[in-house]
Amino acid sequence: MKTFAHDRIDPDAIVDELLNGDGAVRLTGLFAPEDIAEARRTVMEHSDRDAGKVTHFQGVAEAEGALALQRRVWNLLAKGEVFARMAAHPALMDILRRFLGTEFIMGSIAANRILPGGPGQEPHVDYPYWDFHAPETHPVGLNASFPMNAQVSVILDPFTVESGATAYVPGSQRHLRYPTEADDFHAGAERMTGEPGDVALFFGAAWHCAMPNRSDHDRSAILIQYLPKWVKPMEDMPAALPPDVIEGASPDLRQLLGLNYPYPEVLDTAAGGNVEGRA
């Protein structure tokens, strides 16, 4: 996985790597220790209190009664201003405007905490491809020639092979398939290792999964999903946020919340006039 230091970021090279190369890059030192500490404190507090939030790709853990060892914290924008700063980091905005179109949005921002002994996930692809195990529910000919997703993992604890750093298969984003047993995911997989403050950035069409945490410490990350402006987001963030977060949102955060692209809209009651067209 190619690595870019926070002061040596090359957006065009990164976009090419996500689409045509490995499908993932590492950005080192993007967030300061204070921001990481604050984010981590909030994630631990909420996930200590409530182990029972909805999660994904955890069928085996559910069957084994181990679900509580992987915990989610949802709706993070309502839980601390540090998360809006993470989501709208200028370096990420710059890369993602080139990758997903200038008016791209955020579909979800949540924490994934895996406790020591916690299980891994099933190898998968991410929203909106996440149910591609039923490809017939998607349009004919859909492929990964252009991206409908970018994933950011802001690393809060050391991501090592032992602690369950995300595994992924380099280049697999080019196929757009949900991985099967026959793909032998683990034989071809590499790990998105990193230190607190680093970011793993990947195209969610790449096969990947959280791995079991066999270390003696928690393994948490902030997972941010970004989408083109016209993909229906996974979380209804405006509905879940207190009004003051929306009112105080920066222009970039308003864009991320989808407020620049207000469809679907009740056009029968919208103000009259020509609203779209070149002229």
Ligand X SMILES: O=C(O)CCC(=O)C(=O)O
Binding residues for ligand X (CB under 6 A):
56, 112, 126, 166, 208-210, 221, 223
Question: Token pair of 122, please?
Answer: 């099933």
First-to-final CA distance of the chain: 45
Contact 69, 196 (CB under 8 A): no
- The distance of closest approach from Cβ of residue 277 to Fe ion in the complex, given in angstroms and rounded to an integer, is 38
Q: Given the complex with ligand X, which of 199 and 249 has the nearer CB atom?
A: 199
Pick one of ligand X, Fe ion, none as the site partner of residue 235 (Cβ within 5 to 8 A by kind): none
- The distance of closest approach from Cβ of residue 106 to ligand X in the complex, given in angstroms and rounded to an integer, is 15
Number of residues that bind Fe ion (CB under 5 A): 1
Site for Fe ion contains 225 (CB under 5 A): no
Count other Cβ atoms within 10 Å, centred on residue 238.
Answer: 16
Q: How many CA atoms lie within 13 A of 169 on its CB side?
A: 21
- DSSP letter, residue 199: E
Contact 118, 221 (CB under 8 A): no
Q: Given the complex with Fe ion, which of 96 and 209 has the nearer CB atom?
A: 209
Pick one of ligand X, Fe ion, none as the site partner of residue 110 (Cβ within 5 to 8 A by kind): none
Q: Given the complex with ligand X, which of 88 and 125 has the nearer CB atom?
A: 125
Site for Fe ion contains 126 (CB under 5 A): yes
- The distance of closest approach from Cβ of residue 56 to ligand X in the complex, given in angstroms and rounded to an integer, is 5
- The distance of closest approach from Cβ of residue 208 to Fe ion in the complex, given in angstroms and rounded to an integer, is 6
Q: Report CA torsion sign: 193, 199, 201, 206.
A: positive
Q: Report CA torsion sign: 31, 32, 33, 38.
A: negative
Contact 182, 128 (CB under 8 A): no
x/- map, 85-124, Fe ion, by CB under 5 A:
----------------------------------------
Pick one of Fe ion, ligand X, none as the site partner of residue 166 (Cβ within 5 to 8 A by kind): ligand X
- The distance of closest approach from Cβ of residue 61 to ligand X in the complex, given in angstroms and rounded to an integer, is 12
The rounded distance, in Å, linking the Cα atoms of 106 and 235 is 9
Contact 208, 167 (CB under 8 A): yes
- The distance of closest approach from Cβ of residue 40 to Fe ion in the complex, given in angstroms and rounded to an integer, is 20
Q: Given the complex with ligand X, which of 231 and 249 has the nearer CB atom?
A: 231
The rounded distance, in Å, linking the Cα atoms of 208 and 170 is 9
Site for Fe ion contains 235 (CB under 5 A): no
Tally of residues, the chain: 279
Pick one of ligand X, Fe ion, none as the site partner of residue 26 (Cβ within 5 to 8 A by kind): none
Query: Can you give the binding site for Fe ion, defined by CB under 5 A?
Result: 126
